[in-house]
A and B are shown apart, each in its own frame.
Chain A
Amino acid sequence: MTTIESNPAVPVPSDPGRLTQPPRRRRPARRHIPTALWIIAIVALTAIVLYPLLWMFSASLKPNSEFGSNQGFLPENPTFDNFVKVMQGIAGIPTWKFFLNSLLLGVGAVIGTVISSSMAAYAFSRITFRGSKVLFAAMIGTLLLPFHVLIIPQYIIFRNLGLIDTFWPLLAGKFLATEAFFVFLMVQFIRNLPRELDEAARIDGCGHGRIFFSITLPLIKPALITSSIFAFIWSWNDFLGPLLYLNSPDKYPLPLALRIFNDQTSTSDYGATIAISVLALLPVMLFFIIFQRFLVDGVATQGLKG
């Protein structure tokens, strides 16, 4: 900053002055790179970034005989055989079962996250109570806590409760708001709502329960949507949790099923492995295409990681 301010000799155009002067060149000087060059750069970059995804779709349509022989981008004889084969399932379990398990876990994660995180966020942002500052600091602290410090004792707890090989260890944390990102996101959102609404409701005799349900929840809908989408996608992609807690293949969600495919068939059956990867990513990609604004804006304004 000092370099700019320490040069009073140069007349820096001030705002009122600019209004009266003839219109200056409005575009800042930094825009001097020709637009054509910018377009070429950005298109090339897009091609590189999206290449793995496009390659994945293309490769899933290649018959197995083309893996190795046809290094080209497009399949010579496109076929849906890989998908047909992969839908038959693996280890005697049909593939739709893995989708169902992932769906159940995802829906459970969304319900748990929305309920528990919004309650905690309301308490932190709208109720003044003893110990709230300390607990809020603790909540922020857990944002930076490496998850691996917790997995062993958590595993022991759920093992002692006899919950290994059930969905409960994977859902319990969601219903107890252990993912501080969501609480933080909602706290930020609630803090920007005018407090006057709460005060007015309070004067009308509303308690916190009523204010929470009738005023806060409807107003933070965008934050609830963003949280729901992230909660679903993170649950859908989660690998370590199911790896720790689920033993029976008929309870496996997609990431664990993918791992069996990868271990058992990757050397002999590339096509099938890639095809199930495509199927597993498809719901996430659809979610992303539909809700991209919510997701990207959520990241931009809250610093939320994807």
Chain B
Amino acid sequence: MTTDSAHAPAATRTAESGARPADSRRTGAPRPRRRNGDTIAGYVFLSPWLLGFVGLTLGPMLASLYLAFTDYNLFTAPEWTGLENLTRMAEDDKFWSSVRITLIYVLVGTPIKLAAALAVAMLLNYKARGTGFFRSAFYAPSLIGASVSIAIVWRAMFSTDGPVDGTLNLFGINLGGWIGNPSLIMPMMILLAVWQFGAPMVIFLAGLKGVPAELYEAASVDGAKPWRKFISVTVPMLSPVIFFNLLLEMINAFQVFASAYIIGSGTGGPGGATNFYTVYLYTRAFANNQMGYASAMAWVLLLAVGVLAFILFRTSKNWVHYAGDSK
């Protein structure tokens, strides 16, 4: 397996360098000595980012943590209420329903999306040439899928007289419109997410191109069937890319907003089915002026994402195979 590192796909390196940020070895040059003027120059170049980081990211994060323990309506000074926001949250049915909706969306939608992405990437990888058009065509939805335009189109397509119901009618299935039916909103939202499989697909494809063909040949010589090759060669070799896609897609899925807001007309309807976590947070903060409660919700979201990322990183040791590892 000495060829592994030379063939490591680009996306693998990306995933790795997250763990080893200050990796200067790849450039080959020895790390230069720190010069006296460099610290000043460094901070001059960094000043816009640093200002943004402190003023628009770190500061707001801490402010939001403080507000989470207060009652604040924007117009009178924040009033410290301790853990009251959390206890109110625990008794808030709409909060729990938004948690349930969002978790279903993330935990069901993301694996389906990634499975579709991997399947199509493998299909495209069959051919060495002439797949550029398809790669671009499949990527296009990822670029526009979260826009208001597509949410409107999706709404129209799944409405009572829309083409989706029209097609299903041909097969004798009559759902009577998806938009007004709370139990069909989730499948519709997940379909919208899966439709945007292109971005992870492109990353998978880059990963697949980096799997050395010798591994498949060796597996063939061993008499491995296609499924066995998939499990024993493709999945282990792609595991860094799978990990990277899973982490990013899950975090993105937690933050779905525009599509849910437009499809539910900003009300969370029908029957609260589009009351996604971020939609409910927005409603609490900017329609009801409950900045304290909404900040508490924001921190619960941050902690949930943090716990999820932590679990993924911890379990990754068991299933993510980095090229060049002895294990």
Contacts and interface: CB of A to CB of B under 8 A. Distances in A.
A255 B258 contact: yes
A36 interface: no
Interface string A180-194: 000100001001101
B286 interface: yes
Contacts of A183: 49
Contacts of A255: 147-149, 258
B149 A149 contact: no
Interface of A: 1, 3-5, 7, 10-13, 28-31, 33, 38, 41-42, 45-46, 49-50, 52-53, 55-56, 59, 67-68, 71, 73, 115-117, 119-120, 122-124, 127-130, 132-133, 135-140, 142, 144-157, 159, 172-173, 175-178, 183, 188, 191-192, 194-196, 199, 207-209, 212, 233, 237, 239-240, 244, 254-255, 258-259, 262-263, 266, 270, 273-274, 277-278, 280-281, 284-285, 288, 292, 295-296, 299-303, 305-306
The interface residues of chain B, by DSSP majority, are classed as helix
Nearest to A24: B217
A119 B48 contact: yes
B38 interface: yes
12 contacts: A1-B232, A55-B157, A73-B163, A122-B45, A123-B41, A144-B309, A149-B302, A176-B55, A192-B27, A274-B156, A303-B203, A303-B244
Nearest to B127: A38
Given A120-B46, A237-B144, A306-B139, A149 B123 contact: no
A296 B135 contact: yes
B186 interface: no
Nearest to A305: B199
Given A129-B41, A281-B144, A178 B52 contact: yes
Nearest to A38: B126
B305 A146 contact: yes
A156 B218 CA distance: 61
A41 B124 CA distance: 10
Contact of B149 (A124, A195, A281, A302): A281
Contacts of A133: 21-22
Given A153-B64, A255-B147, A146 B251 contact: yes
B222 interface: yes
A173 B258 contact: no
Contacts of B44: 208
A49 B152 CA distance: 17
A127 B24 CA distance: 12
Contacts of B246: none
B152 A4 contact: no
Given A49-B141, A53-B140, A153-B59, A119 B295 contact: no
Interface residues of B, number: 126
B184 interface: no
A156 B52 contact: no
Given A277-B149, A284-B144, A116 B49 contact: yes
B48 A115 contact: yes
Interface stretch (B10-18, B81-89, B93-101, B107-115): B10-18
A209 B295 CA distance: 41
Contact of A156 (B47, B199, B222, B291): B291
Pairs A-B, 5 closest by C-beta atoms: A176-B52, A129-B42, A153-B60, A120-B49, A123-B45
A145 B302 contact: yes
Contacts of B123: 38, 41-42, 45
A233 B199 CA distance: 15
A159 B49 contact: no
Contacts of B6: none
B139 A296 contact: yes
A16 B222 CA distance: 20
Contact of A153 (B11, B63, B152): B63
Interface string B54-91: 01111111011001000000100000000000000000
